[in-house]
Amino acid sequence: MQVFRKRYITLGLIIVALLVSLTGCGSDDGQVEGDLSLLNEDGEEVTLTNKERATVLFHFTEVG
């Protein structure tokens, strides 16, 4: 009885986590709302949604 209860609780938590992550990743129409842009090293604004020009984005985190 305890084993089945633990399995159902674990299965329920996995399903809830999956639904929450899928809800967070989705949007109403599948399009980006607003303009995703950043400043490059020259101070120029770079739009991340421009499909005519590829953009490489580096993200560095502090270690230690």
pLDDT tens, 4-26? 899 999 999 999 999 988 877 66
Q: Which residue has the higher pLDDT, 39 or 1?
A: 39
What is the 3-state composition of the chain as percent helix, strand, coil, each rounded to the nearest 5?
Answer: 40, 10, 55
pLDDT at 47 over 90: no
Give the span between the Cα atoms of 32 and 34, in whole angstroms.
6
- 57 Cβ contact list (under 8 Å, min separation 6): 38, 48
Query: CA-CA distances (angstroms) from residue 19 to 7, 28, 42?
Result: 18, 16, 41
